[in-house]
Amino acid sequence: MESTPDNPGDALAELVTRLRPRIRQVFSGFRIPAFDAEDVLQEVLLIAYLKWSSIHTKDAWLLGALRKKCALYWKRQRDDRLEAVEPWTLESLSEPQSPGQERTERRLDLKTLTEDLGQRHRNVLWLRYGLGLSAAEIAARTGYCDSSIRKLTCRSVARIQKKMAGG
pLDDT in tens, 107-161: 777 777 778 888 888 888 888 877 888 888 888 888 888 888 888 888 888 887 7
Q: Band of the pLDDT at 1, cuts 50, 70, 90?
A: very low
Q: Quote the pLDDT of residue 84.
A: 55
Length of the chain: 167
The CATH T-level fold of domain 8-83 is Rna Polymerase Sigma Factor; Chain: A (1.10.1740)
Q: Closest Cα partner for 116 from 64, 45, 164, 59?
A: 164
pTM, two decimal places: 0.47
Are 32 and 44 a contacting pair, CB within 8 Å?
no
Q: Quote the pLDDT of residue 108.
A: 76
Pick the CATH number of 85-164 from 3.40.630.30, 1.10.10.10, 3.40.50.2000, 3.30.420.10: 1.10.10.10
- Outline where 31-86 has alpha helix (H): 34-51, 58-84
Spell out the domain ranges in the chain.
8-83, 85-164
Q: Band of the pLDDT at 89, cuts 50, 70, 90?
A: low
Q: What is the mean pLDDT of residues 55-65?
A: 94
How far apart CA 42 and CA 39 sit, in angstroms, is: 5
pLDDT in tens, 23-44: 999 999 999 998 889 999 999 9
Q: Regarding predicted confidence, which is higher, 30 or 88?
A: 30
pLDDT reading at 3 higher than 50 = no
